[in-house]
Amino acid sequence: MRPEILFPLFTETSRLQGVGPRLSKLLETVAGPHIVDLLWLLPSGVIDRRFSPQIADAPHGVVCTITVNVVEHRAPPNRRRPYVVLCSDESGMLELIFFNAKGDYLMQLLPLGTTRVVSGKVEHYNNSYQMPHPDHMITPDQVEGIQALEPIYPLTQGLLPKILRRTIDGAIARLPMMPEWSDTALLAREGWPPWNESLRVAHAPATHEALSLLAPTRRRLAYDELLANQLALAMVRQHQKRRKGRSIECDGALFERAEKALPYQLTGAQRMALAEISADMAESARMLRLLQGDVGSGKTIVAFLAMLGAIEAGYQTALMAPTEILARQHFQTISPLAEALGLRIAVLTGRDKGRAREALLADLAAGEIHVLVGTHALFQQDVNFHDLAFAVVDEQHRFGVHQRVAFSDKGAGIDMLVMTATPIPRTLAMTAYGDLDVSRLTEKPPGRQPITTRAIPASRLDEVVAAVGRSVENGARAYWVCPLVEESELIDAAAAEERHHHLATIFGPRVGLVHGRMKPTEKDAVMEAFKSGEIDILVATTVIEVGVDVPEATIMVIEHAERFGLAQLHQLRGRVGRGVSASSCLLLYHTPLGETARARLKVLRETEDGFRIAEEDLRLRGSGEVLGTRQSGLPSFRVADLTVHGDLLEIARDDARLILNRDPDLVSERGQALRVLLYLFERDAAVQFLKSG
């Protein structure tokens, strides 16, 4: 239940004075439906109204606040000409210019012969001084009412700055006095004012400095939001740990046999991760661990080997992937090894239906299947395990916290391993996973050749086609990724089809095509043909982005590379360089290249280090954008900006941990205040995990 103190903020904006249906619709697009949403709409700049010269000294293009006498009203002869109000002071004349104005309204506002204060941008025009559509026209005794530094808010069409400011003022006027939820020692150390004051100052900065994201008030607001985020994550985690886990121990015989059967040696990083995982499993608390490793670092085999402990102890295991292609591929990777060990492995996706599916589910419920690989389909109601003890989510950061919770409901006290490919910087990983235990695969399997990356203008397409043709003649295999035109599979598919047609006329049936609009069975068939070498050029949309593994592929062509994000380009490039032969990546771009696009391509040419690329990505895009992209599955923030508030995140994490150690169900006075904080930032879903929610 939302605390009562927040009720005034969680009401529709239409409850504010002067907000009708039209305005509330506009507000909804800029901010959101509720009054609380307006609070987070912080000014992006200020208009300085402190400059008040005489008319003759008012420079062109500068906002001035000038005291004048109203001399004359000149109504226009026709609707195309403006209404002009002539004003003066000792130094000269100023023309106030109004298009589409109502004369009687202006007459009322600016009566002849009176003194008025006008504020707005002055323009010099044909020897005259003009102020088109002043922002303020007031009597001298109203001057106090205009802010010396007036906040500028982001706008949408049809929403006047004045109206928006007035509405936000109305929202601020409704602020209840919030209890203090943050640690008083921290507040003192950082010099942060109370929350109410911080919010007020953020909306009415008295200096330019107050506007900075580094101003104490801004940092305090950002901190509170990050604390809500970290606390909510820690609560989910606490909930998972509270539900009794089980201690899984075994003598590792199965693992030993598997290791012997592997065609390669595990890397040091893989061994370390496996040791950390089995230590977690041996504990009675539930495991929740993140396995982070760049593309191609060998996470899948780690996941499978980790499963063996649970299987040896008599339990079932599951592996969930974000896409059909990936699920099938994991299944194919693991199957031979599992079968060599005499284990039963099965795959379940949305595509499996009817009798076969029923038979599979029956075997699963009877405990005859040791490893179940699948997609979201694993969450379906009728999927019942006999005894699921260990689940791996290969999420490539596409699943949210709540899906992980849902998964853990498929069995009692399930140990959980979440795998993710790097491109999330540490700070972002923390906002998505909080205080998870983390294992990192920092080292790539040995024998990998570096990838040569080149950026080439699209005008040289023919040369690229010829070069790919030559390499393919010599036995190479190539991916050809087509432009992401829009967030529309239909249009992407059309572009890929066109390129496929083009290349097929040159190279014949050796060119294959895969895109998101094909039937799953068709996709599989094409992927299989590419794996086996039946086709050697695979034209694709970004469906191949995640995890696809064909070690023989050594060429990656990416068209319209300037349209992709850095993380995505890195993922795509990671499809090659997986075998023993040298690989290359050709980034085709269209001119003119924007500054950011140029910087992205440069980073890619310079490094293959996923961690570095992730940090650069954050820097280039700003966390707002990284976090804002919906498909990333990462949380987005209203006030905090991780490119500048990253340091606060760690403090928030430690604080959240400390809070739950002392007061695990948030019942103390501060605990109650923290509940208000969680609701304020709409992290209410976490509150259900408290014992006395």
Name the site residues for ligand ADP (rule: CB under 6 A): 264-267, 270, 293, 295-301, 445, 547, 549, 551, 578
Selection from Mg ion, ligand ADP, none that 295 binds (CB < 5 to 8 A by kind) is: ligand ADP
Look up residue 157 and give its two tokens: 């069409």
Q: Are 653 and 659 in contact (CB under 8 A)?
A: no
Nearer to Mg ion, 300 or 408 (CB): 300
- At its nearest, how many Å lie between ligand ADP and the CB of residue 446? 6
Residue nearest to ligand ADP (CB): 298
Distance (Å, whole) CA 665 – CA 421? 34
The Cα-based distances of 53 to 56, 91, 93, 132 in angstroms read 8, 10, 13, 17
Could you tell me the smallest distance in angstroms from the CB atom of residue 418 to ligand ADP? 13
Strands (E), 170-225: none
Nearer to ligand ADP by C-beta: 216 or 445?
445
The distance of Cα 618 from the centroid of its chain, to the nearest Å, equals 10
Smallest CA-to-CA distance from 303 within 338, 351, 350 is with: 338
Q: Which of ligand ADP, Mg ion, none has residue 130 at its interface (CB below 5 to 8 Å by kind)?
A: none
Partner from Mg ion, ligand ADP, none binding residue 301, C-beta < 5-8 Å depending on class: ligand ADP
| Closest distance to ligand ADP from the beta carbon of 265 (Å) | 6
Smallest separation (angstroms) from ligand ADP to the CB of 396: 9
| Pick from 133, 38, 28, 43: nearest CA to 83 | 133
What is d(CA 98, CA 621) in angstroms, rounded to the nearest whole number? Answer: 41
For residue 230, give the amino acid letter.
Answer: Q
Least CB distance from residue 365 to Mg ion, whole Å?
29
Report in angstroms how near the CB of residue 330 gets to ligand ADP at its nearest.
8
| Closer Cβ to ligand ADP, 280 or 549, answer by number | 549
Please name the residues in contact with 594: beta carbons below 8 A apart, sequence gap of 6 or more: 562
User: 32 contacts which partner out of ligand ADP, Mg ion, none, CB within 5 to 8 A by kind?
Assistant: none
CB of 280 to Mg ion, least distance (A): 21
Nearer to ligand ADP, 267 or 442 (CB): 267
Nearer to Mg ion, 301 or 634 (CB): 301
- Concatenated DSSP letters for 490-520? HHHHHHHHHHHHHHHHHHGGGEEEE-TTS-H
445 binds, among Mg ion, ligand ADP, none (CB under 5 to 8 A by kind): ligand ADP
User: Alpha-carbon distance 188 to 192, whole Å?
Assistant: 7
Binds 671: which of Mg ion, ligand ADP, none (CB < 5-8 Å by kind): none
Backbone angles phi and psi of 123, in degrees to 5 = -125, 140
Bridge partners for 498 per DSSP:
none
Nearer to ligand ADP (CB atom), residue 420 or residue 431: 420
Give me the residue label for tokens 């029923």.
358
Minimum distance from CB of 547 to Mg ion (Å)?
Answer: 4
Which partner, ligand ADP, Mg ion, none, binds residue 578 by CB below 5 to 8 Å per kind? Answer: ligand ADP
Calpha distance 603→521 (Å, rounded): 37
Q: Which does 328 bind (CB under 5 to 8 A by kind): ligand ADP, Mg ion, none?
A: none
Please give the residue ranges that form the binding site for Mg ion (CB under 5 A). Answer: 300, 547
With respect to ligand ADP, which residue has the nearer C-beta, 13 or 422? Answer: 422
Q: Give φ, ψ of 514 to 5 degrees.
A: -140, 130
